[in-house]
Amino acid sequence: MTAGRGTNGDVEAVSEGLPKLHRPTAICLVTLKVVLHIVTISGYGYFRDELYFLDCGRHLDWGYVDCAPLVAIYAKIGLLLGGSLPAIRLLPLLAGGLLVWLTMMLAREMGGGRFAQALAGLSAIIAPAYLASASFLSMNVFEPLFWMGCIWVVLRIYRTGDSRLWIWFGVLAGLGLENKHSTVFFGVAVVIALLLTPLRREFAHRWIWLGAGVALLLFLPNMLWQIVNGFPTLEDLTNVKDAGKNVVLAPVDFIAQQILLIHPATFPIWLAGLVSLLVGRLSRFRVVGLTYLALLVLMIVLHAKNYYLAPIYPMLLAAGSVRVEAWLEHWRITRAGLWPRAAVLACTAVLGAVLAPLALPLLSPVDLVSYQEMLGVAPPRTEVAHSGPLPQHFGDRFGWEELVEEVAEIYWSLPEEERSRTGIYASNYGEAGAINLFGPAHGLPSAISGHQNHWLWGTGDFDGDSLIWLQWRREWLEGLCGSVEQAGEHFNPWGMAEENRPIHICRELSVPLEEMWHELKHWN
């Protein structure tokens, strides 16, 4: 290993030769990942959040109450491709494949050869968190790409001493913020880690500050939107906290769920990677290990959902794979020394297949329930109120088309004069998104809702005095309507329990809907 100076004259540059990325292995693993998601791309139906993001895609803006703006761009692309499940899930499955490639690149950057790259990529494939996130449209599948792209840049800066690369860090961090606001905590963790390592010297030079400026510039449109609209995201987060919506985990439980989300089979790998980054042979990259620890502490203190930390693990999987490769190198005295490597990869793949049905829609709902019972393992809940026979990331894919059909039957059963002044009020963004996606085929008007960004979009052109009202209890509606009639009841055995409720017709609104609109605001 030789050391030199980078462009700033201070940061040590490590210039030893790196192994090449083994492209055939990378192509095979990325293809495997993509194929897994292609064969399950239409499984179970639209996810609740997908329906909402499609509505966001129909109302492109620089911000939304509960999400950053890039997810609406992803959804808009899906709509332009037709809005079908394959169309809106094309980008997520490609992002999932790219994450496998990036994880292998991180292993290479840490000195990993062909085996380390293969183990890192395979570990990224089998992680239930990444299998689930790449199976439907959300910002979560893109988040690790931005985070790990930033980490790759940090590793390159360490190796080359080229501080100009902070500009690219800023680009990725800024886009990451426009993808999901939790990137700010990742950024804080990186800063803490830099301050605790020799790389703190980077703060004495202009490039890191220019990179920060680039990130802020890219994030500026959303910041301005927040200011103009009274910081709705902060209000939303405060409401979530005050309502006790999310499951609050003790530190031990939070860490235990990390093991499940990234797969128990990969736990020894990423733990070995963390230890090696902190005190072992990879400690020259200690900034990476400290970034993880800082973010872990932040997430525990903030009572974050268990999956909020998931985007950070590819770098630990990469580091751990490098260490496993080094350990197995001692076995390569004869040709028999290749067998331990083959055994590790085979065991990882087989164990990954065992938990795959918990993350991907591979089984029928009946078989999935039986399979979970047989394993004695089920994905943990992240929200207190969500309940049903299936995990939420599956349960929220059932019942939407049936709900719209039931609403359509009620709507078209009304006399024509009454129907002309009747709207559809959805109590949450999933219902509203379902009405807006499937409703046009049934001749239904657009949904009205006070939930999340739908409240900002307002009541549209509705000026009637009657509403088909979804999910609300009769006693709540009686204070708003002259008369309330139960016109139907939605029930899907595999959907979430909170959707299995009566459908009412609210006639003779006590005041025009626009006048009560402020009271219907529901941000949580």
Kindly report the number of other CB atoms within 10 A of residue 206's CB atom.
12
Residue type, 154: V
CA distances to 110, 318, 335, 352 from 325, rounded to whole Å, are 12, 11, 16, 20
pLDDT value of residue 329: 82
User: For the chain, what are the domain ranges?
Assistant: 3-358, 400-520
pLDDT digits (tens, 9 = 90+) for 345-360: 999 999 999 999 999 9
Task: Give the torsion through C-alpha atoms of 381, 382, 384, 385, to 10 deg.
Answer: -80
User: Residue 123: CA atoms inside 13 Å, Cβ hemisphere, count?
Assistant: 35
Residue 56 and residue 71 in contact, taking contact as beta carbons nearer than 8 Å: yes
Burial of 517 (0-12, 13-18, 19+ CB in 10 A): middle
Query: What's the 3-state SS for 21-61?
Result: CCHHHHHHHHHHHHHHHHHCCCCCCCCHHHHHHHHHHHCCC
Kindly report the number of other CB atoms within 10 A of residue 18's CB atom.
14
Structure tokens that stand for 45 in this block? 């139906």
Residue 320 and residue 273 in contact, taking contact as beta carbons nearer than 8 Å: yes
Residue 103 and residue 123 in contact, taking contact as beta carbons nearer than 8 Å: yes
Structure tokens that stand for 421 in this block? 């002044």
Give residue 416's Cα distance to chain centre.
44
Structure tokens that stand for 137 in this block? 């449209």
pLDDT value of residue 472: 87
Whole-structure pTM value? 0.94
Q: How far apart are CA 72 and CA 64, in angstroms?
A: 9
pLDDT value of residue 330: 72
pLDDT value of residue 4: 38
pLDDT value of residue 340: 84
Residue 132 and residue 396 in contact, taking contact as beta carbons nearer than 8 Å: no
Residue 124 and residue 100 in contact, taking contact as beta carbons nearer than 8 Å: yes
- Tell me the pairing of strands 481-489 and 422-425: unpaired
pLDDT value of residue 156: 95
Kind and range of the H or E run holding 268: helix 267-279
Kind and range of the H or E run holding 425: strand 422-425
Q: Which residues contact 14 (CB under 8 A, 6 or more apart)?
A: 1, 3, 158, 159, 284
Query: What's the 3-state SS for 278-323?
Result: HHCCCHHHHHHHHHHHHHHHHHHHCCCCHHHHHHHHHHHHHHHHHH
pLDDT value of residue 1: 35
Kind and range of the H or E run holding 189: helix 183-195
Give residue 156's Cα distance to chain centre.
26
Residues 198, 290, 162, 13, CA torsion sign: positive
pLDDT value of residue 174: 98
User: How high is the mean pLDDT in each 10-residue block of the chain (524 residues)?
Assistant: 39 59 95 97 95 98 97 98 97 98 97 96 98 97 98 96 97 98 97 97 96 98 97 92 78 94 97 96 96 97 92 98 90 62 94 96 95 85 72 94 97 96 96 98 97 96 94 90 94 92 95 94 92
